[in-house]
Structure 1
Amino acid sequence: MLKRIHHVAIISSDYQVSKAFYTEKLGLEIAEETFREERNSYKLDLKVGDSYQIELFSFPNPPERPNKPEARGLRHLAFEVDNIGEAVEMLNSKGIETEPVRVDELTGKAFTFFKDPDGLPLELYER
């Protein structure tokens, strides 16, 4: 029945800042941008590789979400990369702070975390 994940939706507190972060700093390509006047809201579709997308939304005065690593709900969004060292270097060169690289004890794969402008935890996971 379920074939794959179609998209991940993110609501930003500052649309222009988040749009710049995901497009200019992370390099995601814009598929479509729509302003929904009746909601005073933007919807930005961002391509993640050939199969996935992020929907970035703006809403007037969205409430804050608790941001504890082990809070109930979606824990983080992970992006696969070919080389963790190069990806970390690229993020750091653009002013994005990353945690120290760790190795997943179950898979032996390298990973690290960083945050988007609203503090949403994002992960890089080496292929």
Structure 2
Amino acid sequence: MLTISHIHHIAIIASHYETSKAFYCDILGFTLQEEVYREARNSWKGDLALNGQYVIELFSFPSPPARPTQPEACGLRHLAFCVEDIDAAVQHLTAKGVNCEAIRVDPLTDKRFTFFSDPDGLPLELYQA
């Protein structure tokens, strides 16, 4: 039997590596654990952590294709981050120039959430714990 203990990491390909690295680190609060340039692939790879735990592999590749549509394209629909105070989180993002949708309430859980996008339009969600 397969026994999965947890999600190890999420891989994201950025069209502009430095812009996305700044977004995830400077705005969302991830820390850069390690960064390497892979010359054979003309690609950067950064390992980003949240609260000391490795979470995101951030890649660059020359001329990656754009996401076809959002958020209903086949594949990853969105990435959700848990926050304790969604109003404070939205205020922080707005002050950094990030546009958030209006806060909604999940009819099944009664929890508050909102969506915003990373620099490449990847749909991200804030979900209040």
TM-score, length of structure 2 as denominator length: 0.94
**Contact 1:67–1:120 at 8 Å: present in 2 too?**
no
CA RMSD of aligned residues (A): 1.1
Name stretches of at least 5 consecutive residues in structure 2 with no aligned partner. Answer: none
**1:5-29 Cα shifts (integer Å, max 9, x gaps):** 0110000000111111111111111
Aligned residues: 127
**Counterpart of 1:126?**
128
Name stretches of at least 5 consecutive residues in structure 1 with no aligned partner. Answer: none
**1:35-84 Cα shifts (integer Å, max 9, x gaps):** 11111111101012344411100001111121222222110000000100
**1:71-116 Cα shifts (integer Å, max 9, x gaps):** 2211000000010000000000000000000011111110000000
**Counterpart of 1:61?**
63
The 1:46/1:124 distance shift into structure 2, 3 A limit, reads same
Matches within 5 A, 1:17-36: 17-36=19-38
TM-score, length of structure 1 as denominator length: 0.95
**Contact 1:110–1:126 at 8 Å: present in 2 too?**
yes
**Contact 2:47–2:54 at 8 Å: present in 1 too?**
no
**Contact 1:46–1:56 at 8 Å: present in 2 too?**
yes
Q: Percent identity?
A: 59
Q: Secondary structure at the match of 1:80?
A: strand
**For the residues of structure 1 that align with 2:119 and 2:55, how far apart are their CA atoms?**
19
Deviating runs (4+, > 6 A) in structure 1? Answer: none
Residue type of the alignment partner of 1:75: R
**Counterpart of 2:103?**
101
